[in-house]
Amino acid sequence: MSGVEEHDLVARVEGSAGIIRLNRPKAINAVTLEMFRGIDKALDRFEADPAVAVIVLEGAGERGLCAGGDIRALWESSKVDGDLGKSLWREEYILNARIKKFPKPYVAFMDGIVMGGGVGLSAHASHRIVTERTRLAMPEVGLGFFPDVGGTYLLSRSPGEIGTYFGLTGQTMNGPDAIHAKFADAVVPVAKWPELRAALTKVRQGVTAADVSKLINGFAAGEAAGPVAARQATIDALFGFDRMEDIVAALKRDGSEFAHATLKTLNEKSPRGMVVTLKLLRLARTASSLEECLVREYRAALEVFRSDDFREGVRAAVIDKDRNPTWSPPRIEDVTPDLLAPYLAEIGTDELKFN
C-alpha cells in the first residue's frame, strides 16, 4: 500500500488498484476545487503506473459517496463578483471528460447520497456500482442552476423522457432507477462491497473492462428498474415537449396524483433554471460527445454564476435554509428568449477546451 494522504482526499495504491477516497464525511464528501485537482493528479499517477490495473472511487463514512460541489464557497464568490465558478467548473468539467475516457477500468462505488459534482465523478466511469442505499439526484434547478458536470449528456441519454423528468424535478433515483436511467450499471448490496473491493485490488495487470464487469456482476443483485421506471409511459407522455409551458399544461390536464405532486415540485423550482435545463437537455440529444455538452454547460454555468437566481437558490437551500426562494423572474412565461440567449452564447477566449 502506497500513496499520499491529504485531509480531504486519500489517493493510494492498494494491490493492483488505485484507490481514490473522498474524505470529508461530515460534509458527505462535498468536493472542493483542491480535491478536483488532487483527483486529477492521482489519475496522472495511476495512469502512468503499470502496477495499477483498475481505479476505485469511494467515499468516506456511511452517508454517501458525495453530496456535490462546495456550493457555499461558490455562493460566497458569486456574491463578491469573484471567479471561483470560472476556475472550479473549468477544471471539474475537464476532469469529468477525462474520467469518461480514462484508459483503465474506473469503478465508482455510488453508495448513499450521490448528487451534483458527485455524479460527475462517478456516472462517467466505465463501471458504476449502486447499492440498496443509493440516493442519486441532480437537484440543481432548485438552486437556480441546471444539471451540469455532464448531467445534460447523461439525462438526454436516459430512456424516453425519464431524463427530462429527473432533470426538471430534481427527484431522487434509487439504485435500480439509476440503472434504468443509464446512470449506473449494477446494484451490489453494501454487505458484499468489502469482498468485491478486495477482489478489485487483486485483479491482474492489463485486466479488460469486460473482465471487471464480469467480476462485478458476480456480486450484483440483478435489479435494473425501480419505481420511476414503472411510470415510463406516463412520464414520456407528460414530458415529451420542448417548452416548459407545454409540460406544465400536460401535467395540469392529466390531473392524476402523480401529475399533481410533480406540478407541486416544479412550482418550487427556479423558472429560469427549468427553461435553461430543458433547452440544454434538448440540445444534448443531438450532441456527438460528452465534451460538446460540457462546452455548452460551461457557457451556461458562467451565466448562472452571475445571476440573482443562483445566489437566491443557494441562500434558501443552504445558507438560511428557509426553503423559500424568491425567483426572478417568478413565472415560466416570463423567461423570454432574450433572457435565455446569454446562457447559450459563445464566450470567446473563455470557451472550455480539452487537451
Tell me which residues are annotated as active site.
Answer: 69, 117, 140, 148
User: In whole angstroms, what is the distance from residue 140 CA to residue 118 CA?
Assistant: 13
DSSP run (H or E) holding 161: none
Beta-carbon count within 10 A of 292 CB = 14
Q: Cell 456535490 appears where?
A: 68
Cross-strand pairs, 108? 57, 128
Angle between helices 271-284 and 337-344 (to 10 degrees): 50
User: In whole angstroms, what is the distance from residue 283 CA to residue 129 CA?
Assistant: 28
Burial of 320 from C-beta contacts in 10 A (0-12 / 13-18 / 19+):
exposed
Parallel, antiparallel or unpaired: strands 9-14 and 2-5: antiparallel
CA neighbours within 13 Å on the CB side: how many for 86? 10
Burial letters 161-177, b for 16+ CB under 10 A, else e = bbbbbbbbbbbbbbbbb
User: In whole angstroms, what is the distance from residue 9 CA to residue 208 CA?
Assistant: 27
CA neighbours within 13 Å on the CB side: how many for 218? 11
DSSP run (H or E) holding 147: none
Enumerate residues 6+ apart whose C-beta is below 8 A from 314.
Answer: 71, 72, 74, 75, 143, 144
Question: Which cell numbers in the block locate residue 327?
Answer: 425567483
User: In whole angstroms, what is the distance from residue 146 CA to residue 170 CA?
Assistant: 10
Cα of 258 vs its chain's centroid, Å? 25
